[in-house]
Amino acid sequence: MMKIQNQTNSTYSPGMPVKGIRGQILSFHDDPFLKEPHECYDYIDDGLIVIQNGHIIDSGEYQDTVCKYPDITDLDVYDDALIVPGFIDCHVHYVQSPMIGSFGDTLLDWLKQYTFPTESMFVDKGFADEVAREFFKQLLEHGTTTANVFATTFETSVDAFFEESERYDTRMISGKVLQDRNLPDSLKDRSAEESVVLAERLLKKWHRRGRQLYAVIPRFAPTSTPQQLRLAGELYQRYIDQDVYMHTHLDEAQSEIDWVKELYPDQSNYTEVYRSFGLVDKRSVMAHCCIVTDEEWDTLHRCDCGVAHCPSSNLFLGDGMFRYWEAKKRSRPVRLGIGTDVGGGTNFSIPRQLGDAYKVAMLQSRSIDALKSLYLATRGGAETLHLEDKIGSIAPGYEADIAVIDLKPSEFIVWRMNFAGDIFEKLFVLMTLGPDNINRATYVSGRKVYDRDREKRYMYAAELDAVIQI
């Protein structure tokens, strides 16, 4: 088929089905923590996104754009809504969905009492399938289209997750959790060697299969023997140039940091423990990072790591509070996104996490505005996962993963919005007052996999393809 280049340098195939989404559009192309904030985004009051073969091929003012695509077969129009890139959750445990909202005392007690017994149940594939199904429904209902996800020890937990992701064609990152000490026997790897062999087998099975990506995941330093961390580091280094990730927890709570110091007295800090095993590198994503020394920030910056700020978890577990101004210090910034950390976090909604991020900052006499917050939830998350050339923005060439935020989700907010000015004031109202779900529809690879107003709210890719070819 003949292909032509349109004005925005994206490939358009005339004659193939073209989908359009019309409404207010907001998307970031740069980092407002490091550049002039108002030069970092594009906002269009009446815009059109044009999608073909799962990718955005054009976006711009509706009137200027629509005339270029006379063969748009399918147009969704959203009034009183804001169309944004799908949200990105940079740190979440899908296996903790069944125990979200459990009473906690300290982090380590909470793990022992609720987390470990729940994760032990994933040895049963049927249970893992059921939780994966529910987890994806929660993500998509809240407009999250990509997540960086902990499974748990068992092969079943990884297979169940990726199988469900394939059904929606979501771009997801996950992997087997490596943990061979300081856990109940029901959850512990039998040996460091065996665990890393299994991780490599799963990596070969799932990495780059469709949109799926694999991460090497030591739970955190105290639950792996030095031998397991060494083998995990070697596995990561063998595949790092094939875009495999390393994902773990770092510097969440003082009690955890003290424990790491006891286990590794010769290392100068917690980050050095991971680094000494080859685990701190250009595709490493560290969750939490609440209590971080200057030396550690320097290392994370130098190694081009991503960091996941998990504000709802900070408030719920009470272990530490993230300092974004340290993470984004201009002399040594790191890639930064938002994580729900379910079940340490108490909801699956990235917009609600942003409301909590404001509170975490205010408790430390700082603030964070809606502009920077929305960047962290979209483009910042993509940068954290080194996927900023594929997802996190609405622009030609990007994968068509899109959320549609309801600007009038309740009667009171309709009234309250009368007193809000620009789009960022409205967003701040939603982040702060919005109900649990302010998302109307979620598109993944251009397919509307979730629609709040459709009789069948969630639909797999194959079901949608049977209705219309995109």
Find how far residue 293's CA is from the centre of its chain. Answer: 25
Q: In angstroms, give the least distance from the CB of 140 to Zn ion.
A: 21
Distance, CA of 419 to CA of 416 (rounded, Å): 6
Distance, CA of 445 to CA of 38 (rounded, Å): 29
Distance, CA of 239 to CA of 232 (rounded, Å): 11
Question: By C-beta, is 253 or 376 nearer to Zn ion?
Answer: 253
Q: How many residues bind Zn ion (CB under 5 A)?
A: 1
Question: By C-beta, is 150 or 428 nearer to Zn ion?
Answer: 150
Q: In angstroms, give the least distance from the CB of 317 to Zn ion.
A: 10
Kindly write out the interface string for residues 338-377 of this chain, putting x where it contacts Zn ion by CB under 5 A and - elsewhere: ---x------------------------------------
Q: In angstroms, give the least distance from the CB of 96 to Zn ion.
A: 8
Q: Please name which of 277, 159, 157 lies closest in space to residue 220, comparing C-alpha atoms.
A: 277
**Structural tokens at position 68:** 């270029």
Q: In angstroms, give the least distance from the CB of 95 to Zn ion.
A: 11
**Structural tokens at position 261:** 């110091």
Question: By C-beta, is 189 or 341 nearer to Zn ion?
Answer: 341
Q: In angstroms, give the least distance from the CB of 352 to Zn ion.
A: 17
Question: By C-beta, is 84 or 336 nearer to Zn ion?
Answer: 336
The beta strand positions in 29-160, using DSSP E, are: 41-52, 55-61, 72-85, 87-93, 144-150
**Structural tokens at position 149:** 């996800």
Peptide bond into 343 cis (omega under 30): yes
Residue nearest to Zn ion (CB): 341
The answer to the question of residue 251 lying near Zn ion (CB under 5 A) is: no
Question: By C-beta, is 26 or 232 nearer to Zn ion?
Answer: 232
**Is the separation of the CB atoms in 356 and 377 below 8 Å?**
no
The 3-state DSSP class for residue 289 equals coil
Q: In angstroms, give the least distance from the CB of 148 to Zn ion.
A: 10
Question: By C-beta, is 155 or 341 nearer to Zn ion?
Answer: 341
> Is residue 276 classed exposed, middle or buried when 0-12, 13-18 and 19+ CB atoms within 10 A define those classes?
middle
Q: In angstroms, give the least distance from the CB of 311 to Zn ion.
A: 13
Amino acid of residue 158: V
Question: By C-beta, is 166 or 341 nearer to Zn ion?
Answer: 341
Question: By C-beta, is 8 or 182 nearer to Zn ion?
Answer: 182
Classify the C-alpha dihedral 218-224-228-233 as positive or negative.
positive
Q: In angstroms, give the least distance from the CB of 128 to Zn ion.
A: 18
The 3-state DSSP class for residue 459 equals coil
Kindly write out the interface string for residues 299-338 of this chain, putting x where it contacts Zn ion by CB under 5 A and - elsewhere: ----------------------------------------
Distance, CA of 314 to CA of 391 (rounded, Å): 27
* Beta-carbon contacts of residue 256 (< 8 Å; ≥ 6 apart): 107, 108, 220, 222, 249, 319
Interface positions with Zn ion (CB under 5 A)? 341
